[in-house]
Structure 1
Amino acid sequence: MSDLTLSPASHVTLSPVREAELRQVAVELESSFLAEMLRHGGLGTPRDSFGGGHGEDQFASFLRTEQARAMAASGGIGLAESLFNALAARDGAAQ
């Protein structure tokens, strides 16, 4: 059985630019995940009475996306940090 574990990101030396890029990608991935969870949780689904019709349905995804971005930017659920560590470790192993 082969060992596929990578060294922790704390042992990887990245340039400040590359670190910023990886952190942004990690936050975007967490944001996408949170938006999908918010969709399944029902955020933005129209109410039965006094709903906004088809327009509300079409723009609800924008609400979920922005809500998810705000959540991820303020710390989110910790997924971005895990993703960043994995990406940084993979990036360091490739160098």
Structure 2
Amino acid sequence: MDVSPVAQKLVQPPKPNPLREKAAELEAAFLAEMLGHAGLGAARDGFGGGIGEEQFSSFLRQEQATAMVKAGGIGLTEVLFRAMSSSESGDAQ
């Protein structure tokens, strides 16, 4: 069965844009930093996870921030993408 070219474009996922991916990474890094300043992953008093908890809490924050970006984030990815796109094309002033 032949599939029309229009149908093929609808079925194929869009090619990933490396610049947009970098913008999403920047948003995730920003969110991870903000989560750290908000106290997420801070060592608890009493029966906490000890030194292991302290050492690996940054990994947890980074993964949570990445999940937040994949779920829509705070909109920073699009702003960063536009800024990087305009500077890449020479439109930045």
TM-score (norm 2): 0.77
Q: Does 1:79 align with 2:88?
A: no
Which letter maps to 1:41? A
Q: Which has the larger radius of gyration?
A: 2
In structure 2, distance between residues paired with 1:47 and 1:90: 44
Residues in 1 aligned to 2:71 and 2:19: alpha-carbon distance in whole angstroms: 17
Q: Does 2:17 match 1:20? A: yes
Unaligned runs of 5+ in 2: 1-13
* 1:51 corresponding residue in structure 2: 48
Q: Which position in structure 1 is the counterpart of 2:33? A: 36
Q: Deviations over 1:15-56 (max 9, x none)?
A: x86x70110000000000000000000001121121111010
Cα distance in 2, alignment partners of residues 87 and 74 from structure 1:
22
* Runs of 4 or more above 4 Å deviation: none
Q: Corresponding residue for 1:66?
A: 63
Count of aligned pairs between the two proteins: 78
Identity within the alignment, %? 58
The two structures, once aligned, show a CA RMSD in angstroms of 1.7
Higher relative contact order (CA 8 A, sep 6+): 1
